[in-house]
């Protein structure tokens, strides 16, 4: 089956992120870990993604897949806005 409709393509950068040690932390304190993860997302991660023009398209427990319109936006989000040191202070 063929179609005469034009194919629309777009370039995107995908960022994959997860919380290091999540399983261990869940084993030690499930309620506290989930509360900290929720706070971290709300205060640090989600705003950083929005500022970098990103869009979360999949979440998994402690992980995210995020689409950005450019590689520059993805790298800036990961390197400058969601630095491990910054996130560790909130965790």
* pLDDT tens column, 8-21: 998 999 999 999 89
> What pTM did the predictor assign?
0.78
* pLDDT tens column, 20-72: 899 999 999 999 999 999 999 999 899 999 999 999 999 998 999 999 999 99
Dihedral sign, Cα of residue 71, residue 13, residue 76, residue 53: positive
* Any domain includes 7: no
Report residue 54: phi and psi, to 5°. -90, 165
* Any domain includes 2: no
Range of the domain at 64: 15-90
* Any domain includes 62: yes
């Amino acid at each position: 089956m063929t179609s005469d409709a034009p194919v629309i393509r777009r370039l995107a950068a995908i960022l994959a992120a997860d919380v290091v040690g999540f399983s261990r932390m869940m084993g030690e304190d499930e309620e506290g870990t989930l509360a900290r993860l929720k706070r971290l997302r709300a205060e640090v991660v989600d705003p950083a993604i929005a500022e970098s023009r990103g869009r979360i398209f999949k979440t998994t427990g402690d992980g995210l897949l995020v689409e950005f319109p450019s590689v520059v936006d993805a790298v800036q989000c990961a390197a400058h806005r969601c630095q491990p040191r910054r996130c560790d202070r909130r965790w």
